[in-house]
């Protein structure tokens, strides 16, 4: 018999279950995956007293509607949005109690892209390779949510610490500034292109997704050599330059190998979290990091 659970009423454009991912399996061809905005995911769990790696929901642009099948406590962080419980306004960025039968409506993102819905106890979907994350590239983990999906809730831990940093949430970026450490294939590019990289202004492409943030406008970087590069290992934050010369920043669901040269790497941290919230058209600049 299922205990506490939430039922998906409206799944939204793309809602997935995400925790901190499944590191340590790249040698098997398995990406890390996990929440794109690690800071917002972690805050949602802190507000409820959950462990940092508890599974939450990651929505994309137009939110989600869930029905509580038993009393639960939830919170919504990430992209700011309207939150309603059975038609009544509720708090964003703070714990909200749902009675059995109540519907939680997470609205369209007012800025940014991805909101996070956590429940006290975490979503207890079956783990795969130690993680409950949905990996869109490899297909591991639970499927993308659809109407009628039942999401079991795990046992609640200790009471959360009151006064958690709910207000220390960065807003969605109007300009994305990414620190970049050159290499390992910077020598594949003309010196003028490296100089252009620090001066150029790119734009986020609508083709961006959980696999990578694509740039759709800006200076096209030119190579100093031709030929093909054998596939080699990729890491989170790797900036790969395909033949069109427009950089792609690899995000959580990135492939573990790639054949285009990597001009540099954006280290993990707040700038990569901000990349998760950058909408199409947002300016992108690279700075020496």
- 252 contact partners, CB below 8 Å, separation of at least 6: 21, 31, 32, 33, 34, 35, 36, 210, 236
Model confidence pLDDT, tens digit, residues 133-157: 999 988 999 999 999 999 999 998 7
For residue 258, report the phi and psi dihedrals to the nearest 5 degrees.
-160, 155
pLDDT at position 227 is 81
> How far is it, in rounded angstroms, from Cα 28 to Cα 252?
16
Question: What pTM was estimated for this model as a whole?
Answer: 0.94
Q: What is the mean pLDDT of the chain?
A: 93
In this predicted model, what pLDDT tens digit does every residue of 264-288 receive, in sequence order? Answer: 999 999 999 999 999 999 999 999 9
Which two three-digit tokens encode residue 210?
């959980």
Per-residue pLDDT tens for 213-230?
999 988 899 999 888 889
Rounded Cα distance between 53 and 78, Å, is: 16
Domain edges within the chain: 5-152, 175-288
Q: In the numeric block, which tokens belong to residue 33? A: 């995956």
Beta bridge partners of 67: 7, 103
Give the C-alpha separation, 15 to 78, whole Å.
Answer: 13
Rounded to an integer, the average pLDDT of 85-106 is: 97
182-212, pLDDT tens digit by residue? 999 999 999 999 999 999 999 999 999 999 9
Residue 2 pLDDT:
60
CATH (residue range 175-288)? 2.40.100.10
Closest listed residue to residue 39, CA positions, set 137, 229, 156, 173: 173
pLDDT category at 1 given cuts 50, 70, 90 is very low
Rounded-to-integer distance, Cα 178 and Cα 138, Å: 27
- Confidence at residue 157, expressed as pLDDT on a 0 to 100 scale: 79
What pLDDT sits at residue 158?
76
- Condensed to tens digits (0 to 9), the pLDDT of residues 238-265 reads 999 999 999 999 999 999 999 999 999 9
Dig out the tokens for 287 from the structure. 């700075």
């Amino acid at each position: 018999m299922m205990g506490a659970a939430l039922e998906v009423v409206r799944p939204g454009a793309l809602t997935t279950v995400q925790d901190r991912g499944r590191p340590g399996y790249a040698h098997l061809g398995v990406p890390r995956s996990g929440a794109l905005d690690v800071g917002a995911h972690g805050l949602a769990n802190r507000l409820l007293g959950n462990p940092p790696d508890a599974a939450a929901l990651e929505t994309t642009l137009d939110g989600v509607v869930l029905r509580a099948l038993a009393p639960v406590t939830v919170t919504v962080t990430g992209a700011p949005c309207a939150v309603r419980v059975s038609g009544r306004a509720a708090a964003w960025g703070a714990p909200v109690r749902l009675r059995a039968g109540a519907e939680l409506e997470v609205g369209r993102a007012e800025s940014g892209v991805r909101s996070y819905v956590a429940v006290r106890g975490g979503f207890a979907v079956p783990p795969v390779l130690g993680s409950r994350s949905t990996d869109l590239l490899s297909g591991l983990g639970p499927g993308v949510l659809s109407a009628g999906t039942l999401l079991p809730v795990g046992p609640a831990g200790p009471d959360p610490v009151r006064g958690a940093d709910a207000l220390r949430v960065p807003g969605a970026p109007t300009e994305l500034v990414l620190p970049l450490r050159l290499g390992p294939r910077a020598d594949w590019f003309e010196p003028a292109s490296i100089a252009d990289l620090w001066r150029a202004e790119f734009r986020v492409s609508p083709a961006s997704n959980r696999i990578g943030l694509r740039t759709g406008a800006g200076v096209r970087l030119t190579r100093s050599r031709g030929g093909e590069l054998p596939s080699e290992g990729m890491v989170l934050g790797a900036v790969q330059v395909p033949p069109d010369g427009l950089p792609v920043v690899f995000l959580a669901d990135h492939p573990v190998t790639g054949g285009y040269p990597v001009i540099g790497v954006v280290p993990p941290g707040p700038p990569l979290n901000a990349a998760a919230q950058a909408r199409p058209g947002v300016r992108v600049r690279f700075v020496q990091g």
